[in-house]
């Protein structure tokens, strides 16, 4: 049976010296995607990794690689990440002055196109581009680091994003990224999240495979409340 909520472990909190092993653990635990956080030290105050790591991961897992570009000039790197094996590329609305062109370029590369939005950016910044994208990452923390606390306004933003999509007649995949845990997962799904990204909650756990299952179970409590 297809999962109703998708779980995307973020490798930002994984042990990079044992990356393949850590990814196969969460794969065995039922993860749907592997979320890869790319940071440039400019758009966010941290550095992570680039296309070489995506390429290496591509060889070691069959899970889709969901690539979140937290970088100032994403246009210069789209092709490199697509070639490395991303199945979906997200660019931040805050750094793309020509967003239609950027999204069109991602599609030309035959990769799903997503747009990411920071917690303090008004949702109306998405209005003109929503009909063009396959996915939206609604950031629930200021990006840059794993292990932060989800901002409480996230629930209201999720509901408003849902409403905006409904009013435009579009249906992009809605992804929540930052501070997701077993306590807030069901509330996030109730408010409209379809994919939950979790780094610290999975890889800082002594049993990452079990943590994926626990998060899914917690998230799917939302469905049992509906039925």
Identify whether 37 is a catalytic site residue.
yes
Min dist CB 13 to ligand DX5, Å, is 5
User: Which of Zn ion, ligand DX5, none interacts with 144 (beta carbon under 5 to 8 A by kind)?
Assistant: ligand DX5
d(CA 116, CA 17): 28
Q: Which two tokens stand for residue 145?
A: 């680091």
According to CB under 5 A, which residues from 163 to 192 bind Zn ion? 177
Helix crossing, 19-28 with 208-226: angle to 10°? 30
Which one of residues 27, 37, 40, 66 is an interface residue with Zn ion (CB under 5 A)? 37
Q: Is residue 68 near Zn ion by the rule CB under 5 A? A: yes
Among the listed residues 37, 40, 66, 134, the single catalytic one is: 37
d(CA 112, CA 91): 11
Which one of residues 123, 144, 190, 221 is an interface residue with ligand DX5 (CB under 6 A)? 144
Identify whether 177 is a catalytic site residue.
yes
Write the DSSP assignment of 189-203 as a string of letters.
Answer: HHHT-SEEEESHHHH
Residue 113 or 197 with smaller CB distance to ligand DX5? 197
Beta strand 34-39 pairing with 6-9: unpaired
* β-bridge partners, 102: none
User: Which of ligand DX5, Zn ion, none interacts with 146 (beta carbon under 5 to 8 A by kind)?
Assistant: ligand DX5
d(CA 62, CA 161): 31
Q: Is residue 51 near ligand DX5 by the rule CB under 6 A? A: no
Judged by DSSP in three states, 97 sits in: coil
- Residues forming contacts to ligand DX5 in the complex (CB under 6 A) are 10, 12-13, 35, 37, 68, 141, 143-148, 177-180, 197-201
Known catalytic residues? 37, 177
């Amino acid at each position: 049976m297809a999962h109703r909520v998708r779980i995307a472990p973020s490798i930002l909190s994984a042990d990079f010296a044992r990356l393949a092993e850590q990814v196969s653990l969460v794969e065995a635990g039922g993860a749907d995607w592997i979320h890869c956080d790319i940071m440039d030290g400019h758009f966010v105050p941290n550095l992570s990794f680039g296309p070489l790591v995506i390429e290496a991961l591509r060889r070691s897992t069959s899970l889709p690689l969901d690539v979140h570009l937290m970088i100032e000039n994403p246009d210069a790197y789209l092709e490199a990440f697509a070639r490395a094996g991303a199945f979906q590329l997200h660019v931040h609305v805050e750094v793309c002055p020509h967003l239609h062109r950027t999204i069109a370029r991602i599609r030309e590369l035959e990769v799903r196109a997503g747009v990411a939005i920071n917690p303090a950016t008004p949702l109306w910044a998405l209005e003109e581009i929503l009909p063009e994208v396959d996915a939206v990452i609604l950031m629930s923390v200021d990006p840059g680091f794993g292990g932060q606390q989800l901002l409480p306004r996230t629930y209201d933003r999720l509901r408003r994003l849902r409403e905006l999509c409904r009013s435009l007649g579009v249906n992009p995949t809605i992804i929540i990224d930052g501070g997701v845990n077993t306590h807030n997962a069901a509330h996030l799904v109730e408010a409209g999240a379809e994919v939950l990204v979790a780094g610290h909650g999975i890889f800082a756990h002594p049993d990452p495979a079990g943590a994926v299952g626990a998060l899914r179970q917690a998230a799917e409590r939302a469905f049992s409340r509906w039925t």
